[in-house]
Structures are given as structure tokens and as C-alpha cells.
Amino acid sequence: GFVDHARAIAKVGIYDFSIHHEKIIMPLVFRQWAIDKVEGLSSAAEEARDAMFKYIERVGKVARRQVERREAAEASAIAIL
């Protein structure tokens, strides 16, 4: 099903969490929306923005780990040859 296809696509690096983070989330939130530059927010909005930034940071960390794992697996596969 969908999950199997998503894993296969991510495994070969066609589209994964890293690509989503770097090509979708970061440009949209920081360049297009410029959320980090919005001023005059209420305290609740500031808290929500901070929570969003923390979430984006976590997504980036997970994405980097996935890339590292994929690269390690590729290196292992090449070493076997």
C-alpha cells in the first residue's frame, strides 16, 4: 500500500523527510511566509510560533539522521560488492 511505496521512495532518496524539510518546510515557512519576521504577535501566537520552530528543528534532526542511515546503508552495500 501507500506506506510501502513511501518507504521505497524514501529508501532510494527520491522523496523523503530530508527533501520535504529542505525543499518545502524551510522555504515556505521562512522565505515565503517569513514567519520568523512577523511582529506584534500575542503571547499565545508567540508561543505557537516557538512551538512550530521547535517542531521544524526536530523534523530537521530526524531528516538528517535518515540521510545518514541511508548513506551508511549505501556504503555498506557498495563495500559488499
Domain locations in the chain as residue ranges: 2-80
* pLDDT digit string, tens, across residues 36-48: 999 999 999 999 9
List of the chain residues with pLDDT < 50: none
Q: Which residues contact 35 (CB under 8 A, 6 or more apart)?
A: 29, 49, 52
Q: What is the sign, positive or negative, of the torsion defined by CA atoms of 27, 28, 32, 38?
A: negative
User: What pLDDT, on a 0 to 100 scale, did the predictor assign at position 11?
Assistant: 81
